[in-house]
Amino acid sequence: MIYDDRPWLKLYDPGINAEIEVPDAALIDQFDRIAAQYPDRPAYHFHGLTATYRQLMGQANRFANALIELGCARGDVVGVNLPNIPQYLVAQIGILKAGCASSGLSPLLTPRELAYQLADCRAKAVVTVDAILQHRLAGVADQLPDLKIIVGTGIVDFLPWIKRFLARLLKKVPHGQLVPVAGKRVLDFMKLLSASPDREPGVAVSPEEHCLIQYTGGTTGLPKGTILTHRNMSANLEQIKVWIAPEYGKEVLLSGFPMFHLAGLALSLAAVLMGSAQILIPNPRDTKHIVQEMAKYRPTMLVNVPSLYMMLLETPDFRELDFSRLSFCLSGASPFPAESIKELESVVGQGKVLEVYGMTETSPIITMNPRRGKKKIGTVGVPISNTRVRLVDIETGTRQVPIGEEGELIVSGPQVMKEYLNKPEETALAIRNHDGEAWLHTGDVARMDEDGFFTIVDRTKDMLNVGGFKVFSREVEEKLHEHPAIEFCAIVGVPNPKRPGTDLVKLVFQPSLSHKDRNREELKAEVLAFARENFSPYKVPRIIEVVDELPLTVVGKVDKKALR
- pLDDT tens-digit readout, 293-309: 999 999 999 999 888 99
The pLDDT score that the predictor gives to residue 220 is: 47
Last residue of a domain, one of 431, 458, 485: 458
The pLDDT score that the predictor gives to residue 217 is: 65
Same domain for 383 and 254, yes or no, is yes
Same domain for 88 and 155, yes or no, is yes
Angle between helices 53-69 and 86-97 (to 10 degrees): 60
The answer to whether 169 and 143 have CB atoms below 8 angstroms apart is no
The pLDDT score that the predictor gives to residue 171 is: 63
What's the whole-number mean pLDDT along residues 540-561? 85
The answer to whether 93 and 272 have CB atoms below 8 angstroms apart is yes
What's the whole-number mean pLDDT along residues 459-465? 75
Residue 229: name the closest of 46, 361, 43, 63 by CA. Answer: 361
- Residue 254's pLDDT band (cuts 50, 70, 90): very high
The answer to whether position 14 is within a domain reads yes
The answer to whether position 385 is within a domain reads yes
The pLDDT score that the predictor gives to residue 175 is: 66
Query: Which tens digits make up the pLDDT trace of 412-441?
Result: 999 999 999 999 999 999 999 998 899 999
Residue 14: name the closest of 193, 338, 245 by CA. Answer: 245
Least confident of 78-87, 193-202, 335-344: 335-344
SS3 159: coil
The parent domain of residue 333 ranges over 3-21+234-458
Same domain for 431 and 349, yes or no, is yes
What pTM does this model have? 0.86
The answer to whether 107 and 129 have CB atoms below 8 angstroms apart is yes
Evaluated on CA atoms 237, 243, 245, 251, the torsion sign reads negative
Last residue of a domain, one of 429, 458, 487: 458
The pLDDT score that the predictor gives to residue 387 is: 97
Alpha-carbon distance values, 233 to 132, 356, 520 (Å): 29, 17, 48
The pLDDT score that the predictor gives to residue 303 is: 95
Least confident of 191-195, 493-497, 523-527: 493-497
Same domain for 483 and 372, yes or no, is no
The pLDDT score that the predictor gives to residue 87 is: 98
CATH of the domain at 527: 3.30.300.30
DSSP state of 539: G
Query: Quick count: other Cβ atoms within 10 Å of Cβ 108?
Result: 12
The pLDDT score that the predictor gives to residue 474 is: 79
The answer to whether residue 333 scores a pLDDT higher than 90 is no
What's the whole-number mean pLDDT along residues 342-360? 95
The answer to whether position 37 is within a domain reads no
The answer to whether position 219 is within a domain reads no
Same domain for 451 and 471, yes or no, is no
Write 418-421 long-range contacts (CB < 8 A, 24+): 418/210, 418/227, 418/228, 418/229, 418/232, 419/227, 420/224, 420/225, 420/226, 420/227, 421/120, 421/121, 421/213, 421/224, 421/225, 421/226, 421/227
Same domain for 244 and 197, yes or no, is no
How many structural domains are present in the chain? 3
Q: CA-to-CA distance for 272 and 275, rounded, in angstroms?
A: 5
The pLDDT score that the predictor gives to residue 251 is: 97
Same domain for 415 and 511, yes or no, is no
The answer to whether position 360 is within a domain reads yes
DSSP state of 330: E
Burial class (CB in 10 A: 0-12, 13-18, 19+), 21: exposed
The answer to whether position 29 is within a domain reads no
CATH of the domain at 137: 3.40.50.12780
The pLDDT score that the predictor gives to residue 153 is: 96
Same domain for 303 and 382, yes or no, is yes
- Residue 562's pLDDT band (cuts 50, 70, 90): confident
The answer to whether residue 212 scores a pLDDT higher than 60 is yes
Same domain for 480 and 439, yes or no, is no
Task: Report CA dihedral (380, 477, 396, 502) to the nearest 10 degrees.
Answer: 170
The answer to whether position 228 is within a domain reads no
The answer to whether residue 469 scores a pLDDT higher than 70 is yes
Last residue of a domain, one of 428, 458, 488: 458
